Amino acid sequence: MRELYTFTVLLTGSVMDFRRKALPRWFLVLSAAGGVLMLVFASPGWSDLLCGLLPGIILLLLGRFSGCIGMADGVLILVLGGLYGLNEGSQFLMYALLAAAVAALLLIGSRKAGRRSTMPFVPFLLAGFLLARLRLYINGG
């Protein structure tokens, strides 16, 4: 159930982010509310939940003070961290950052983008989530 919810949120967010390079507030509120509902039924441990929120909190602060990442991306990573905990949430983020870096290098190398160009990040979060789930499936988890 949690995976289906996450996939739906990230797929919908990816389409919106790709089209507009922004996510509407109503989408973020619904995503966060759905995440809270999922937590009520999953009842994770408090320490895992709080630690899982750290990457999202850090990215929200980075977005707020440096502008290098969108606030919506930070909110979605906060929701993912709350749902999956620090280990899995960080894994999604790591794969997403790796995929974004490869895409950026390819775009810059082909001169289709410059150093100051922006990319929607939610599609990479979706890719990171799918890669982590695939790795878990292959390893028999």
* pLDDT tens track for 78-95: 999 988 888 888 999 999
pTM: 0.88
Q: What is the pLDDT of residues 52-88, one digit of tens each?
A: 888 989 889 988 888 778 889 999 999 999 888 888 8
What's the CA dihedral at 64, 31, 120, 18 to 10 degrees?
A: -140
Domain that holds residue 61: 2-138
Contacts of 65 (CB under 8 A, 6+ apart): none
- What's the pLDDT score for residue 27? 94
Helical ranges in the chain per DSSP H: 2-20, 25-42, 46-66, 71-109, 122-138
Query: How many domains, the chain?
Result: 1
User: What pLDDT shows up at residue 40?
Assistant: 75
pLDDT of 36 > 80? The answer is yes
Q: Please give the pLDDT value at position 2.
A: 86
